[in-house]
Structure 1
Amino acid sequence: MINTKILFRSLILLLFFVAKTNAQEVLTLEDAVKIALENNYEIKIASNNLLINKTNVTTGNAGMLPKATATIVDNNAIQNLSQTRTDGTVNTLNNAKSNSLNYGVGLDWTIFDGFKMFAKLEQLKELQKLSEAQLKLTIITKISDVHAAYFDLVQQQQQLVALDSTIVISNQRLTLAQNRFSIGKASKLEVLNAQVDLNTDRVTVLRQKELYANTKILLNQILARDAKTNFIVVDAIIVDSQLLLPELTALAEKQNPQLESQIINKRVSELQLKQIKATRYPTVKVNSGYNFAESQSSLGFTTQSSARGLNYGFSASMNLFDGFTQNRNEKIAKIQIENSQMAVNQQNQTLNSELATSYQTYLTNLELIALEEKNAAIAKQNLNITLDKFRIGTITTLEFRTAQLNYVNAKVRYSNAQFQAKLSEIALKELAGSLSF
């Protein structure tokens, strides 16, 4: 009878909760990820950095294309002139005007620089790949944050349901205590204890609701939308229990963005050494141009002249001695390559260690899910038996309260075990670079 009443009230409470939340947005994990990819500021900044590096990958930026320059120079003068010729004749002119005009187009093209330009182009491409890896890292990190915050809300939502059910039970207990007191079968102390426990449960629910609301704000912040946006999450935590460490390790070696970035940095250092070595070779340039020149003078043997035409040629230069700067630069570049290789090895070691520890935590959490699920079922069965005994007055209120708290705590621990296992799964997939976008 009492079980039926409690079940009925719990059902009413659940239906009320569902009806209340129907008006709110149901935010799925996929929708949350999509919103984060569209709105998150860090992802937008990383995308713009990638766009910058894509724009830089051009043959012109690598120095492969010629440079054409148009010039124009116009000079004018007003002077008081005096000229003495060889025969002694003196010519003078005040406010004499003169002007010269030069304009044309010039072309300069480096046709050989020790293959430095080719190494530069390859380096620009590697820098683009580095930005792509950094964007991938930013995206994976943010998607991991979305997953963690989302499933945190799921487990808190589940805990709220468990706490709401215990409010129903505590209310029922208070009603029974009042009825028994009214007919003289219980003391006032039993009623007061029931009231205190009910108030305690209400405080716990309020604290849980506060935490739930704050976590909503955090998720809205990650999604870069209004912090006051109201929504509910799908009430399910499904843990992938089929992850295998060898497969995760193989994926991480290929896809982990941090390891990928270190490998690209090593390649960038190698191409930098190529560019430095290129200065040991001669540099050959060709040049050409078409120019027009015109000048006028109020005094002199030539009062007006003009010229136009094509000019062309080439130049070559080679460093013969620069105070051993070349050798020093090459040594430094080689050391940087060594450092880059050590960074790759270090990142690889760190990655394997994190995978191993995270996988062990993952296995432990899977076992905890099974254990806490059994505990929740046992606690539920124990509560039902305790409710029956409490109804007929064969157990004390302390025993009833203990059974009630054991049930709530078991439900909370089961929900938390699922959440922790999901966090372990997310961490492993994040390290492997396989976290779904």
Structure 2
Amino acid sequence: MNKFYYLLALLFIPIGTAVSQNILTAQEAVSLAMQNNFDVLLTKNDLAVAKENLTYGNAGLLPSLTANFSQSNSNQNSKQTQVSGEVRELDNAKNNSMNYGVSLGWTIFDGFGMFARYDKLNELKARGEIELQSVIISTVGDVLNMYYTIVLEENLLNTIDSSIMISTDRLKTAENRFQIGKASKLEVLNVQVNLNSDESLRLKKIETIRNLKTELNRLMARDLNNDFQVEEQFHFNENLKMDDLLIQASSQNLELQLIKLDKRIAELELKDVKSRRLPIVRLNSGYNFSSSESSLGFVSQSSARGLTYGVTASFNIFDGFNQRRIERIAKIGVEKAGIQIERSKALVDASIVKAYQSYMTNISLAKLEDKNERIAKQNLGITLDKYKIGTISAVEFRDAQENYVNAMSRLKEANYLAKLSEIGLKELVGNLDL
């Protein structure tokens, strides 16, 4: 019996910890993903572009200043007939002209469209920030799901390893019983088949864990062959309340926030479109220098410099009803965004309700499987006593062993599903912590 309890204790001791490897915590996995994940980095670049676009000049609020320079030269055979009838001719007559200066243009009024455009650029920056948060939340969720899947599979591997130890001990017992004539060769062969079956499961489980680690390395954007150990245990929060989650989601759910911003952007687009009904007033100014030379003509050389200034105004009187069409389309965009907000809110609420029901079910299953595991453990102890004294067969002992291993596996899987349900709920709310 002492040996039996030693074997049972092995079920709670991770076999893999004997290997000298660095333990990667869930927090470290998330931190690495935040630094290296390609989706996060790409979204950060998109946000940087949105920030660069948020300028007064891009919205049309600032003047434009342009420097100009031009020079032209010609060499022609010229012939001129004057009003008096006099004819003037010159071969290879040279004509040169040069102009340079600066010009200033500033739209001082465009129906307040420039202010609407600036506000729109600001909202686009805010949208980029929320998109980054959304990608971060999604990435954190993927990393945690993958991480805890590896924890589960490692625990199941430990369970298989411990089952192999029990099967190995059973094989020795069966061989001893066969040697003294208390068991048949068939019993020994059956136990050997059971042990081989456990070994086969172990190989498949190791392959699964390696593939999962490769996927987690991909999410963290590091060497795919980088091996590591994960934490042995994890805990889930049993105190989440559906009413609190629904209230938080109404203000924190990132999808809802994005759609609300889209509605605001659509309203600013409508405001910009309506501004085109009003006149556009633009100030113009400049300082220019010009000079010209002519070998043939009334003026052989001239130059001028000075300041120019003025104002231009334009007003759209009729454009084939295009202005009215564009305004109607913009209004439809605002109405559509409002409908999308209501639809998304209903979808988010429904998703939270369904996810919460799964969360509560998984917590109940975890508690139930905990009781089943304790019963299966007690049953295995009684069965071992009977097997030692020969009152039950190896097949019956194998059934008790499998029942206990399966109960352990179901308990670990129930805890895992409860943890995933917690992560999914927090991801829906938009507030996923570790």
Q: TM-score range by the shorter chain?
A: over 0.9
Q: What's the C-alpha RMSD, in Å, of the aligned pairs? A: 1.6
Report the CA distance between 1:250 and its aligned residue.
Answer: 1.4
SS where residue 284 of structure 2 aligns?
Answer: strand
Residues 1:301 and 2:324 are matched in the alignment: no
TM-superposition CA deviations, 1:256-293 (whole Å, max 9, x none): 11111110000110000000100111111000000000
Partners of 1:90 and 1:357 in 2: how far apart?
100
SS where residue 279 of structure 1 aligns?
Answer: helix
**Which residue number in structure 1 is paired with residue 95 of structure 2?**
98
**Which residue number in structure 2 is paired with residue 228 of structure 1?**
225
Task: Please list every run of 5 or more consecutive structure 1 residues that lacks an aligned counterpart in the other structure.
Answer: none
Residues 1:125 and 2:122 are matched in the alignment: yes
Partners of 1:13 and 1:420 in 2: how far apart?
20
Residues 1:166 and 2:163 are matched in the alignment: yes
SS where residue 306 of structure 1 aligns?
Answer: strand
Moved over 4 A (4+): 8-16
* More displaced stretch, 325-334 vs 306-315: 325-334
Letter of the 1:403 partner, please give it. Answer: A
Task: Please list every run of 5 or more consecutive structure 2 residues that lacks an aligned counterpart in the other structure.
Answer: none
Residues 1:7 and 2:6 are matched in the alignment: yes
**Which residue number in structure 1 is paired with residue 411 of structure 2?**
414
Report the CA distance between 1:12 and its aligned residue.
Answer: 12
TM-superposition CA deviations, 1:66-119 (whole Å, max 9, x none): 011111110100000112334433221111111000111000100000000000
Letter of the 2:259 partner, please give it. Answer: Q
Partners of 2:166 and 2:184 in 1: how far apart?
20
Report the CA distance between 1:334 and its aligned residue.
Answer: 0.8
After TM superposition, list the pairs within 5 Å mapping 1:8-407 onto structure 2.
14=13, 17-20=16-19, 23-407=20-404
Q: How many residues align?
A: 434
SS where residue 311 of structure 1 aligns?
Answer: strand
Contact 1:6–1:169 at 8 Å: present in 2 too? no
Contact 1:6–1:172 at 8 Å: present in 2 too? no
Partners of 1:375 and 1:277 in 2: how far apart?
69
Letter of the 1:134 partner, please give it. Answer: E
Partners of 1:221 and 1:302 in 2: how far apart?
78
Partners of 1:302 and 1:125 in 2: how far apart?
57
Report the CA distance between 1:224 and its aligned residue.
Answer: 1.1
Contact 1:133–1:257 at 8 Å: present in 2 too? yes
TM-superposition CA deviations, 1:95-150 (whole Å, max 9, x none): 11110001110001000000000000000111111111111111111110001000
Partners of 2:183 and 2:257 in 1: how far apart?
72
Specify whether residues 130 and 235 from structure 1 end up closer, same or farther in structure 2 by C-alpha distance, changes over 3 A only. same
Partners of 1:347 and 1:70 in 2: how far apart?
52
After TM superposition, list the pairs within 5 Å mapping 1:415-430 onto structure 2.
415-430=412-427
Specify whether residues 137 and 168 from structure 1 end up closer, same or farther in structure 2 by C-alpha distance, changes over 3 A only. same
TM-score after normalising by structure 2: 0.97
Contact 1:109–1:285 at 8 Å: present in 2 too? yes
Letter of the 1:380 partner, please give it. Answer: K
Partners of 2:8 and 2:276 in 1: how far apart?
85
The alignment-based identity, stated in percent, is 47
SS where residue 235 of structure 1 aligns?
Answer: coil
Report the CA distance between 1:13 and its aligned residue.
Answer: 11
Letter of the 1:160 partner, please give it. Answer: L
TM-score after normalising by structure 1: 0.97
